[in-house]
A = this chain, B = another copy of it.
C-alpha cells in the first residue's frame, strides 16, 4: 500500500498512542473531581495544553480545546457581533466557508498561484469588518499564505480606526490544520489573534483540535454547561486525546526540519519521474503537497485505477469529494472545468518512504499511459 493522502488523514503515531493509553484505563478520572488522582489527571491535562500552547508560542490559558478543526473554526466566528461582518479567503475549507456564509461573509480573491490577493483584501475591509479568516496552508493545494503581511495590513487599519475613535475589534483568524507538521508556527510572528490546530492532521487522534485565542479576542461559547475551557467549551475534558494531541505536536516540532528536507526531496523525485502532467501548485507550497493535472483525463477514474494498484490519492478535500462537488479551490485559481476534472492531489507523510515515492511515480505513469491509450490519445 502506498498512501499518498496525508492531507485527508494521518495514522496516529505509535508513540502518540502509547502516551494516550494510560489515560483510558488507569488515569481515567474526571479532571474536575476533588480527590488527588483526579487532580493529577487535571494537572497532566493542563500540562498537555501547555505544550500545545508552547509549540505555537502561546500560553496555556490561550488554548481552547475543541472536538477538531471544524469546531475551532466555528468558535472563531463567535467573535462576530450581530452587526459585525467578516472576510474569508475564497479557497478556505468548508468549515470556514460555511460558517462565514452564515454571517454573510465576503470572499477575498486569490491570485492564479493560490496566494491571497492583498489588493482585494484591502478593498474589502470596511469599518464593519471584525474578522478575517485566512488558512495558513490551503488543504487542497498546500499554498502557504503570507499571514505576517496580512497582519501588517490589519495593524495599520487598527491604528487608523483608533485615530478615528472606532472601537470595533478586528481579528485575524487562521486555520493552521495542515501546517503544524512542516512550518514553525508562532502566533506572535504570524500576527494572528485566533489560530486553529487539528490533531488528526499531525499524527494525533481524530476528534480533537484547538483554537488559540489571544487575550484581546472576545468569543462566545458554542455550547453551554460545566464551564470547562474558560467557559467557552463545556464538557468533561477529553483527557486521552489531548495527551495524544500534545505528544503529536511535540513530535511534529521535533522532526520539522528533517521532514521538510525529506518531503522536498520526495517532491523533486515525483516531479522529475512523473510524465505528461501539468503542475498546479508551483510556488509558496508546503513540501508534501503535489497537485497535478492530467489534461483530458478523469481524475476520479484515475483514483479507482490507482486504488487497484494500492496507491491511494485524492482529488481534493475528502468531505467535498465524497459529495461529488467540483473543487472551489481549483476554480478560484482559474483552472478550467476540464483541468479540474483531471487534477489529482498527492500528499505524502510518515506512512511513506523514498522507495514508495519512486514506485508511486512508476505506477501513476503506467496507469496514465494505459488510460490515454484506452481513450486513443
Contact = CB atoms under 8 A, between A and B. Distances in A.
Contact of A25 (B12, B25, B70, B238): B12
A225 B98 contact: yes
B24 A11 contact: yes
B207 A241 contact: yes
Contacts of A99: 223-225
B10 A28 contact: yes
Interface stretch (A32-40, A54-62, A147-155, A156-164): A32-40
B323 A227 contact: yes
Query: So how many copies of this chain end up in the complex?
Result: 2
A315 interface: yes
Contacts of A67: 66-67, 71, 207, 235, 238
Nearest to A351: B28
A370 interface: no
CB-CB nearest 6 A-B residue pairs: A226-B319, A207-B238, A95-B225, A67-B67, A98-B224, A70-B235
Interface of A: 1, 5, 8-12, 14, 17, 21, 24-26, 28-30, 32-38, 66-71, 73-74, 93-95, 98-99, 101-102, 200, 205-208, 222-228, 234-241, 300, 303-304, 307, 312, 314-315, 317-323
Given A70-B225, A98-B224, A226-B317, 11 more contacts: A9-B236, A11-B24, A11-B26, A17-B24, A33-B314, A94-B234, A95-B224, A95-B225, A98-B225, A98-B234, A236-B318
